[in-house]
Amino acid sequence: MMSEERPDDNELDLTAIERDLRAQQAEVRERLAELSRPPERGSQVAFGKRIGDGTSEAVSRLTEVGVFETLTDSESHLARALEKIDEGTYGTCDSCAAQIPAGRLRAVPHSALCVECARAGAATGA
């Protein structure tokens, strides 16, 4: 993982990263906007045909809520990463201020936490 062949391996192309993050953010926001739109299909369901509809409707709502939460989560991570680029703290852990390895940032460009803090956060469910 830590290749010695490339001495510039710790150099991050912030311009490219910012562009990628913004593109991802735009995509996530677009999907969130789609999910936030009120459902239209209900208006076409005839009266008296609603028995049984409720179940699949509820399941689909639950799935959508899960997707919505995941997207909201991604959006906040992406927004935070972009904020960190602006602040000049990109690549620094939000929790312990340690340097986040470039390899981790390449794999997960919206990382605001080092591996240890991310792991600790996941363990406590934060």
User: Can you give the binding site for Zn ion, defined by CB under 5 A?
Assistant: 93, 95-96, 98, 114, 117
- The DSSP symbol for 101 reads P
Q: Tell me which residue has tokens 């935070």.
A: 80
Nearest CB to Zn ion, comparing residues 53 and 83: 83
56 touches 116 (CB < 8 A):
no
Q: How far is the CB of 101 from Zn ion (least distance, A)?
A: 11
CB-CB contact of 60 with 39 (8 Å)? no
Task: Indicate the residue among 85 and 98 with the shorter CB distance to Zn ion.
Answer: 98
Q: Which is nearer to Zn ion, 12 or 98 (CB)?
A: 98
What gap in Å lies between CA 113 and CA 126, rounded to an integer? 12
Q: How far apart are CA 76 and CA 66, in angstroms?
A: 15
- Nearest approach, Cβ of 8 to Zn ion (angstroms)? 24
